[in-house]
A and B are shown apart, each in its own frame.
Chain A
Amino acid sequence: MTATTTQQALGERAGGVAERLSARPRRFLPPRLGRRYERRFALVAFLVPSLVYVGLFVAYPLYRDIVISFQNYGFSALAAGHGPFVGLANYRQMLNDGTTIRAIANTVVFTLASVAAQFVIGFAMAVYLNRQFAGSAFLRRIILVPWVMPLVVTGTIFSLIFASTNGLANEVLHGIGLVHKPIGWLTSGDLAVLSIVVTNVWAGIPFNAILLFSGLQDVPPEQLEAASVDGASPWQRFTRVTVPMMRPVIMIVLMLGVVYTLKVFDIVIVLTNGGPANESQLMSSWAYTQAFSDFQLGTGTAVANILLVFSLLCGVVYVLLSRGDNTGRARR
Chain B
Amino acid sequence: MTRNYKVLRISGRLAVGLVLFVPLLFPLYWVVASSFQNLSTIFANAPQIIPTHVTAANYSVAFGSIIGNIGVSLVIALCVTGLSWLIGVPAAHALARLGGTVSNVVVMVMLVTQMIPAISVSVALYTIFHQWGLLGSYLGLILADTSLQMPFALIVVRAFMVSLPGELFDAAAVDGAGEVRAFTSVSLPLAVPAVITVGLFTFLGGWTDFVNALTLNNGSGPQPLTLGLFKFSTQYTTNTGAVFAAATLAAIPTTILLFMGMRWIRGGLRAGALKG
Contacts and interface: CB of A to CB of B under 8 A. Distances in A.
Asked whether any CB of A lies within 8 Å of a CB of B in the complex, the reply is yes
A56 B244 CA distance: 40
B57 interface: no
B76 interface: no
Contacts of A142: 25
Interface in A108-152: 121, 124-125, 128, 133, 139, 141-146, 148-152
A287 interface: yes
B46 interface: yes
B225 A150 contact: yes
A11 interface: yes
Interface string A12-30: 1011011101100000000
Interface in A38-70: 38-39, 42-44, 46-47, 49-51, 53-54, 57-58, 60-65, 68
Contact of B123 (A12, A252, A301): A301
Question: What is the interface residue range for chain B against chain A?
Answer: 35 or more
Nearest to A249: B274
Nearest to A7: B189
Contacts of A19: 176, 178, 181
Contacts of B45: 166
Identify which of B24, B25, B106 gathers the most chain A CB atoms within 10 Å of its CB: B24
Interface in A282-322: 284, 287-288, 291-292, 297, 300-301, 304-305, 307-308, 311-312, 314-315, 318-319, 322
A103 interface: no
B185 interface: yes
Interface stretch (A183-191, A225-233, A237-245, A257-265): A257-265
A78 to B, nearest CB: 9
Contacts of B233: 156, 159, 270
B275 A326 contact: yes
Contacts of A323: 276
B124 A42 contact: no
B104 to A, nearest CB: 7
Contact of A319 (B111, B176, B180): B111
B28 A46 contact: no
Interface in A163-177: 163, 165-166, 168, 171
A166 B159 CA distance: 49
B218 to A, nearest CB: 11
Nearest to A13: B184
B170 to A, nearest CB: 13
Nearest to B257: A148
B243 A319 contact: no
A315 B274 contact: no
Nearest to B31: A157
A51 B106 CA distance: 8
A207 B88 CA distance: 25
A21 B179 CA distance: 11
B118 A263 contact: yes
A301 B147 contact: no
Interface string B13-54: 100110011011101101100100001000001110000000
Contact of A18 (B39, B110, B179, B189): B179
Contact of B258 (A144, A153, A308): A144
A11 B180 CA distance: 8
28 contacts: A7-B189, A14-B181, A15-B185, A42-B179, A47-B95, A51-B106, A58-B151, A64-B128, A141-B262, A143-B24, A144-B258, A145-B255, A148-B265, A149-B208, A149-B250, A156-B246, A160-B243, A202-B27, A215-B274, A252-B273, A265-B210, A311-B115, A323-B276, A326-B111, A326-B276, A328-B273, A329-B155, A330-B273
Given A157-B31, A161-B30, 8 more contacts: A43-B179, A49-B87, A60-B124, A153-B226, A202-B27, A249-B274, A265-B211, A307-B117
